Amino acid sequence: MENRKPSTAQVLKFAIPSLMGALLFLVPMKVGGKYVLGVSILCDIIQGWMNPIVNQLAILFLSIAVVLPIINMICKPKFIQENKTMRSLFDISPLILAVRIIGLIYVICYLYKIGPEMIWNEATGGEAYYIVTTILTLMVGTSFLISLLTDFGIMDYVGIMVRKLMKPLFTLPGRASLDCIASWVGSSLTGALLTSTQYKDGYYTKRESCVIMTCFSTAAFSFIFVLARVCGLEEFFLPSVLVIYAAVIPCAIILPRVYPLNKAKDEYSTNIGSILLKTYGQDVRNRAKARAAAGSDARMNGCELPVIINSGSGNQGITVSVPVIEYAKELQVGHEKLLRALVISNLTAIHEKTGIGTLSAYCGAVSAGAAAGAGIAYLDNGTYEAVIHTVVNALAVVSGIVCDGAKASCAAKIASSVDAGILGYHMFLNNQEFKSGDGIVMKGIEPTITGIGRIGKDGMRETNEEIIRLMINQ
């Protein structure tokens, strides 16, 4: 692979904002006889701009936070339902809406001296309102300034540098380093949302997501700054950070190794392999599907073990290999015959994929599952006729499966495709086959593969675009 050097513009785009962020948040300056951070000075300026209109902003923001969820509950408007960010803000539960309504009522009562004195008295409600508005103005400032550390590459760079430490220190996969840095440097909420999304998408096991949420979403750099400023302790901000992280980091090392986190199950996502074995038993056909699915499940969910690839895909590499190896063990064939079967399955998959191309909405597991069937047919002393009929039969069954990205459901698609490959071989053994004219089946193996290539490359072009649109708007 060619090792491309970054351009000068790319280096500057990384270095300048990252350096500015480091200077603002990490380097104290002496102003008025005491040491303060650059971000504190900028927040003073922003707070000065916002103070004259902070009351109006509080009512405006809370009104929007109340009205739009009500509109969403009644009308389900597209601008909320089809936008992920808008949906996360305004497609909320009745309980959260009730809390927002109470907040709006409280602000109106305080500002216009309505209701009991305990709400609007300066010693009670006034103090609470001061803290809320101070945090509001600070969050506006820090949310923009913290992006200098989070959005221009320095966080990713540090995350990649510490990847190898994640497993021995925190019992987490290397990919978790970015989530952990995001939680500590960015905000706890950002880290928690990122981890929750990664878990729901199947990239972390239950145990890993619990460890990250418990150990890393507790002490955000930006929140420590806001807290120090509200309490009037800005000059002690950096010592506070050092003391807090001196406690948090050892806790993050110890807690994953003690109860209850050490008892959380290291289950990958949907556990398709386990479900297959539990439901359908331990016969070789089911083991072949289950172990291929389990390999994909682990890979899609952060397992960092190496995997063989086929047609540029690790999942396809698993699919053309694991079922064939499982059958070789069951049939007790020699090592050389296993290697020949793997050559057949791998080359068959590559041949199928040649006409489809690199990227397509046609699921690559289908080609790989049919190819695995070809390898299994060869292992079982199948002839050339057995192999080609196996491939055609399998393609006729599952060619409608679409690719919607690498994620947890790939394991189930692999299981279905391997099942179709094995079914295709058993159809041949029972003198059954899909014939020319049965849907997309053509006269012979080569015309059928060519037709599949046309479907994958040309026919699914618009399908691919529509899938991307659906995924972006989630």
pLDDT at 1 over 50: no
When mean pLDDT is compared across 15-24, 382-391, 440-449, the lowest value belongs to 15-24
For residue 239, whether the previous peptide bond is cis, meaning omega lies within 30 degrees of 0, is no
Distance CA 253, CA 166 (A): 10
Could you give the 3-state DSSP secondary structure of residue 259? coil
Which range of 13-22, 63-72, 237-246 scores highest in mean pLDDT? It is 63-72
pLDDT in the model for residue 189: 60
Q: How many CB atoms lie within 10 A of CB 78?
A: 10
pLDDT in the model for residue 10: 85
| Threshold 0.95, pTM exceeds | no
Rounded alpha-carbon distances, angstroms, from residue 322 to 46, 290, 316, 330, 367: 60, 10, 10, 12, 15
Instruction: Classify residue 237 as exposed, middle or buried by CB count within 10 Å of its CB (0-12, 13-18, 19+).
Output: buried
pLDDT at 2 over 60: no
Tell me the two tokens of residue 219: 């002490």
Dihedral angle sign, alpha carbons of residues 219, 223, 227, 233: positive
pLDDT tier for residue 94 given thresholds of 50, 70 and 90? very high
Could you give the 3-state DSSP secondary structure of residue 122? coil
- Tens-digit pLDDT profile for residues 335-361: 999 999 999 999 999 999 999 987 889
pLDDT at 232 over 70: yes
pLDDT tier for residue 440 given thresholds of 50, 70 and 90? very high
- Provide the CA 142 distance to its chain's centre, in angstroms: 26
Could you give the 3-state DSSP secondary structure of residue 35? strand
Task: Please state, rounded to an integer, the average pLDDT across all residues of the chain.
Answer: 85
| Residues contacting 278, CB < 8 A, separation 6+ | none
- Tens-digit pLDDT profile for residues 99-156: 999 989 988 998 888 888 888 888 888 888 877 777 776 666 666 776 777 678 777 7
- Tens-digit pLDDT profile for residues 156-172: 777 778 878 888 999 88
Distance CA 319, CA 292 (A): 6
For residue 4, the surrounding DSSP H or E stretch is none
